[in-house]
Amino acid sequence: MNESHLLQVGLAQISPVWLNKFKTLEKIKNAIVEAAHQKCELVVFGEALLPGYPFWLALTNGAEWNSPIQKEIHAHYIRNSIQIEEGELSDVCKLAKQHKIAIYLGMIERAQNRGGHSLYCSLVYISEFGEIKSVHRKLQPTYDERLTWSQGDGNGLKVHPLKQFTVGGLNCWENWMPLPRTALYGLGENLHIAVWPGSIRNTHDITRFIAKEGRSFVVSVSALMRKEDFPLDTPHIEKILENSPDILTDGGSCVASPDGEWVLEPVVNKEGVFTAVLDFNKVLEERQNFDAVGHYSRPDVTKLIVNRERQAIVHFTES
């Protein structure tokens, strides 16, 4: 689209090749090409899609202490997580540059600055020029996620220009946290990206609420996961399948307008790249009567302080 106030977005609601980063990357790359063919200027993928959400924890007694089963599956997860510093997203970046399409990608990061063995649920923004501009590590893993994901930091609480829009994003239940949302609002966010493992139970309320609160467009993108999507070569697959429902996540990807109305209603139990056109003028119209960090704020009374330092246990100084 040539008009700078219009943005075509793609919601890539796909399933991973669970805990197989190489095959999942191929699906992601195919979805990027499909989004580009649909003239999308931004494509978004669900939380932890690469290489997949840790469903095994709820299905195999993940909290059992010192369990060989949990250790073996966790080791498999580590091996299939992503080390950005090793160039494991380079092909994705090349596609972004080739097709001039920005990307938000939910992935499991094996962070070298934290020793290279702990895992973070990260949301990566890649610009239309193929550059990684932010890596947001989920601040607080939810429930059993804490058995495999580590706590992130504020370094990735950043926004990015995209045509007339300013885009930012959060992972899953971070979207329920008012202070991280406020941090992004304060940076000028008017297109909010919310990524989820699924399902519609997560997206159908909070998507419209954030849109009304922020007077912003909100794009919620989820993955799909069905019992048949578990690869049979996964460690302890028999135990996983024994307790698995037929549908673990049903999607629910959707888009809300700054007035809280649907641009794209939640899509359930369907795989594909779904598109919507966003008009920046709607942001300006809805800010007339409410702006949470602008004319409707009182910084003399309440104010937020954000620490964006990338956290690490060791800081080296050279003589």
pLDDT, average across residues 264-286: 98
Position 224 scores a pLDDT of 97
pLDDT band at 319 (very low <50, low <70, confident <90, very high): confident
Confidence of residue 54 (pLDDT cuts 50, 70, 90): very high
Q: Which residues are catalytic?
A: 47, 138, 172
pLDDT band at 33 (very low <50, low <70, confident <90, very high): very high
Separation CA 106–CA 276 (nearest Å): 20
Q: Residue 127 — very low, low, confident or very high, per pLDDT cuts 50/70/90?
A: very high
- pLDDT for 135 equals 98
pLDDT at 315: 86
pLDDT value of residue 228 = 95
Nearest Cα neighbor of 124 from 25, 260, 252, 15 is 25
How many CA atoms within 13 Å lie on the side-chain side of 178?
5
pLDDT tens by residue, 196-249 = 998 999 999 999 999 999 999 999 999 999 999 999 999 999 999 999 999 999
Q: What is the pLDDT of residues 289-314, one digit of tens each?
A: 999 999 999 999 999 999 999 999 98
- The pLDDT value recorded for residue 2 is 73
φ, ψ at 291 (rounded to 5°): -145, 105
Q: How many CB atoms are closer than 10 A to CB 241?
A: 14
Q: What mean pLDDT do residues 147-167 have? A: 98
* Nearest-angstrom CA–CA distance, 278 and 106: 22
CA proximity to 104, closest of 167, 150, 149, 155:
167
How many whole angstroms separate alpha carbon 238 and alpha carbon 80?
20
Query: Which domains can be identified in the chain, with CATH numbers?
Result: 6-286 (3.60.110.10)
Looking at every residue in the chain, the average pLDDT score rounds to 97
Of how many residues is the chain composed?
319
What is the identity of the amino acid at 85?
A: E
Classify residue 237 by burial, with Cβ atoms within 10 Å: 0-12, 13-18, 19+: middle
Could you tell me the pLDDT band of residue 138, with boundaries at 50, 70 and 90?
A: very high
Confidence of residue 34 (pLDDT cuts 50, 70, 90): very high
CA-to-CA dists, residue 309 to 23, 38, 124, 247, 316, angstroms: 34, 38, 17, 39, 15
